[in-house]
Structures are given as structure tokens and as C-alpha cells.
Amino acid sequence: MKIVRLVITGMVQGVGYRAWAVRQASALGLRGWVRNRADGSVEVLAGGEVPRIDAFIAACRFGPRWSRVRAVKAEPADETLPETFEQRETL
């Protein structure tokens, strides 16, 4: 299993990015969460099989239709994951 923390920047709030991320991650069988951050970015913690995580990261570089992703920063993480993939409150 691979666990990553993503920080996605650009026009990613107010465009349905969190709901889109939940759908994408759930379809890939990933566990974790997504939330908006006060600085305008979106943060994701995701865990699953390596090919599925890689596919999710690739999808996050595009995001939902109305988003404009500028960058996706990915780093390894070592945290406990929830049983599903969920949307959390803004940090």
C-alpha cells in the first residue's frame, strides 16, 4: 500500500474539486480524505495500491471540468486512513 499527501493549487475551490476527488478516489478503491485549505488550495490524503494511487495523482493534475490546476505537489505520508474516502471541512 502507498499513502500520499497531495496539495493541489490553482483554481480548485468553488468548482466541485472535493466532490470530484471523492468520486475518483472511490472509483479507484482508495481510502483517505480531501479538504479545502484556507490558502485556496485543496489537500488530499490518499492510500491504496501503487497503480491506483498513480492513476489518481494523474487525474488530479486535470481535476473536474471547471477547475484550472496549476500544480500538484505529492509527498509520501504515514498516517492512519479512514475506511472510505471522505470529504472533510476546510482547514
Task: Find the catalytic residue in 5, 31, 35, 36.
Answer: 36
Task: Quickly count: other Cβ atoms within 10 Å of residue 6's Cβ.
Answer: 23
CA atoms within 13 A on the CB side of 45: 15
From residue 71, give the alpha-carbon distance in Å to each of 21, 30, 60, 74, 81: 15, 21, 9, 10, 24
How many angstroms separate the CA atoms of 29 and 72, rounded? 21
- The answer to whether residue 18 is catalytic is yes
Catalytic residue chosen out of the listed positions 18, 35, 65, 68: 18
**Residue 52 annotated among the catalytic residues of the structure:** no
User: Which residues participate in catalysis according to the annotation?
Assistant: 18, 36
